[in-house]
Amino acid sequence: MLNSKSLKILQFCNKPPYPPKDGGAIGMHNVSQGFIDSGYDLHILSVNSDKHFVDIAKLPQSYIENTKFKAVKVDLGISVFAAFSNLIFFKRSYNIERFFNKKLDNELQAILESNKFDIIQIESVFLKDYLPTIRKYSDAKVVLRAPNVEFMIWQRLAFIEKKFFKRLYLNILAKRLKREELIAFNSVDAIYTVTENDASLIKALRVNIPIEFVPTGIDVTKDIDTKGIKPEFPSLFHLGALDWMPNQESIKWLLDNVWPELHKEFPKLKFYIAGRKPPQWILDIKMEGVEVVGEVDDAAAFIKSKAIMPVPLFSGSGMRVKIIEGMMLKKAIVSTSIGIEGIIHEDKKNVLIANNAQEFNDSIRKLIWKEDLFNDICFNARENAKKHYSNNVISKKLNAFLLKVLD
């Protein structure tokens, strides 16, 4: 602990951080664990939607005691009529607007009236419409943790979209989201991002408050032991939310542009696609050597059992937590520059960077033919992750930033 003062913190989450099943939840949960390990008095209030639902009665009692966890059901289902009406008649971001819920606002008010917090950490810009309630009922410093600069995701999706009307629609979404993000950035007391790129981007938008980048850590108490485990070699795998558009785009691109040539050269090669809520088109994939696994019960066990992790992301923002997990679990990662964005790495030492189909094919081919290169990349990846992304290292940096904000 950096200070004898025990901070009282409210962590306000756009989805339950526990169980940490995806990158977003992992990031929030590791922050929570850092607060707990630092001796802080942590309270968590979360959106609880059908997409990311958690049964509070089934959560470990120790977790409830350590976090005073509360959640409110919010309907985040996308209504085509509401989205269309928003597009035609309003200028607000529908992405943000649908997160506001009166019951959640009332629960937030009740918590603020019953507790005097030092810091209220908002886990997503999507919760910006609750800022008036926070300011009205609390004198706490409000800190925004920005795992992504959200408008950049849609801006990049629009850039690579070939259909005119869809590109136009994505650009409208990006512009509206940017406008609301700027309002949020200028309505809080401090911001921290998970990548240096995103911190620089927010600063370039002339946001004049304390801004820091604090990467997502990896909880080293998790099952990261890889001794005695021999992965299926060669094999490719994807693990990540399959209802997230950038992940869907990357899988489609890989299957269209990389897999046919690879499979022709290595007919026994397998590509495993895992992740929650796969859309129907992924479930319907019928390509030789491609296996759609869907959601897995034990992500670490799944990662350990496979060899090469291609990450052909061409849109998105923030840091891909699954890449850090892959590094920690000694995987050979082939990623685009955007996919690896914000992660400390060294090309050809602990990852391989590829930005087009030929580079992906060449990189994966090298890893298959040169097993020594594969082993070196895997070993160096783990050492890099241990050095830069263990949760105790990250927690110290975050604590120092928060204490500075309170000065």
The domain segmentation of the chain, as residue ranges, is: 8-217+390-406, 236-389
| H or E element at residue 74 | none
**150: confidence class by pLDDT, cuts 50, 70, 90:** confident
Q: Which tens digits make up the pLDDT trace of 64-75? A: 999 999 999 998
What Cα–Cα distance (Å) separates residue 357 from each residue in 130, 224, 242, 258, 267? 44, 31, 21, 6, 18
Summary mean pLDDT of the chain: 88
DSSP secondary structure letters along 125-190: GGGGGGHHHHHHH--SEEEEEESS-HHHHHHHHHHH--SHHHHHHHHHHHHHHHHHHHHHHTTSSE
Whether pLDDT at 125 is above 60: yes
Structure confidence at residue 84 (pLDDT): 56
Q: Tell me the range of 22-26, 381-385, 393-397 where mean pLDDT is highest.
A: 381-385
Do 44 and 69 contact (CB within 8 A), yes or no?
Answer: yes
Rg (CA), the chain: 21
Distance CA 287, CA 263 (A): 10
Short-list 204, 202, 178, CA closest to 192: 202
Q: What is the pLDDT of residue 4?
A: 40
Assigned CATH class of 8-217+390-406 = alpha beta
As a three-state string, the secondary structure of 355-394 is: CCHHHHHHHHHHHHHCHHHHHHHHHHHHHHHHHHHEHHHH
Count the helices and strands in the chain (H runs, E runs).
17, 13
Task: Indicate the DSSP class of residue 47.
Answer: E
The CA distances from residue 377 to 36, 223, 307, 333, in Å, are: 34, 21, 11, 8
Fold match, 8-217+390-406 / 236-389: yes
Q: Provide the percentage of residues in the chain whose pLDDT is more than 90.
A: 60
Under CATH, what is the fold of the domain 236-389? Rossmann fold (3.40.50)
pLDDT digits (tens, 9 = 90+) for 46-95: 999 988 899 999 999 999 999 999 999 998 776 655 555 666 655 677 67
Given a cut of 90, is residue 105 above it in pLDDT?
A: yes
- Over residues 203-227, the pLDDT tens digits come to 999 999 999 988 877 654 455 666 7
Note whether 401 and 192 are within 8 A (CB): yes
Residues with Cβ within 8 Å of 138's Cβ and at least 6 positions away in sequence, in order, are 112, 116, 117, 120
The string of pLDDT tens digits covering residues 227-285 is 778 899 999 999 988 988 888 989 999 999 999 999 999 999 999 999 988 999 999 99
Output 391 or 385, whichever has higher pLDDT. 385
pLDDT given for residue 317 in this prediction? 52
What's the burial of 267, exposed, middle or buried (CB within 10 Å: 0-12/13-18/19+)?
A: exposed
Q: Check pLDDT > 50 for residue 123.
A: yes
Q: What are φ and ψ of residue 134, in 5° steps?
A: -60, -45
At 220 the pLDDT is 46
pLDDT attached to residue 103: 97
Task: Give the strands of the sheet with 271-274, arranged side by side.
Answer: 290-294, 271-274, 236-239, 308-311, 332-335, 352-353
Is the CB of residue 367 less than 8 Å from the CB of residue 343? no
Which of 200, 196, 203, 168 lies closest to 182, judged by CA?
A: 203
Specify the pTM: 0.70
Range of lowest pLDDT (201-210, 307-316, 378-387): 307-316
- Exposed, middle or buried by CB within 10 Å (0-12, 13-18, 19+), for 259? buried
**3-state secondary structure string across 258-294:** CHHHHHHHCCCCCEEEECCCCCHHHHCCCCCCEEEEE
The stretch 329-353 carries a mean pLDDT of: 93
The tens digit of pLDDT for each residue in 156-210 reads: 777 778 888 878 877 788 888 888 899 999 999 999 998 888 899 899 999 999 9
For residue 333, the cross-strand partners are: 309
pLDDT score recorded for residue 224: 64
3-class DSSP state for residue 242? coil
The confidence score (pLDDT) of residue 1 equals 43
- Over range 286-295, report the average pLDDT: 95
325 near 354, Cβ under 8 Å?
no
